Amino acid sequence: MQPRSRQRIAVDIPVVVTTVLDSQEGTIVDLSEGGAQIAGCGLPVRSQCQIDYDGHVVFGTVQWSEEDRMGIRFPYELTDGPLFDRLEIARAARLTPTAFQPRAIGIRGMPSGGFGRRMT
């Protein structure tokens, strides 16, 4: 098996997947320029489909499929459009460091608050 050329980024994007015979609602759960994993729907392997999002269409081929999710490969890499914009936003958010929040330390070096023994 050939390694992925692009890293998939976790996202949560509602889409409509359409074939010649059917349309299904699903959610893209990970995305790269070359493909996506869609949860909530499934099509047979090698099916041709289109992914509709925000008025734009991206074409793809089902590479693998399970009952409620599938992997789609795009014939042309994403370079623009709403899905590409969402990918760039998710990638930037993933690379942005979060502010350091030190935990409060209570009696005997144990974290204070939360579950467990009540501190007085």
CA 39/CA 51 separation, integer angstroms: 13
Fold type of domain 9-95: Thrombin, subunit H (2.40.10)
pLDDT for the residue numbered 95 = 75
Q: Which of 78, 89, 66, 77 is nearest to 10 (CA)?
A: 89
> Each residue of 80-107: pLDDT tens digit?
999 999 999 999 987 766 655 555 555 5
pLDDT for the residue numbered 3 = 53
- Which residues, listed in sequence order, are joined to residue 59 by a DSSP beta bridge? 50
> Each residue of 8-21: pLDDT tens digit?
899 999 999 999 99
Structure pTM?
0.75
CA 42/CA 62 separation, integer angstroms: 9
> Each residue of 74-84: pLDDT tens digit?
999 999 999 99
pLDDT for the residue numbered 29 = 97
- 40 burial via Cβ count (<10 Å: 0-12, 13-18, 19+): middle
> Each residue of 34-71: pLDDT tens digit?
999 999 999 999 999 999 999 999 999 999 999 999 99
CA 12/CA 32 separation, integer angstroms: 13
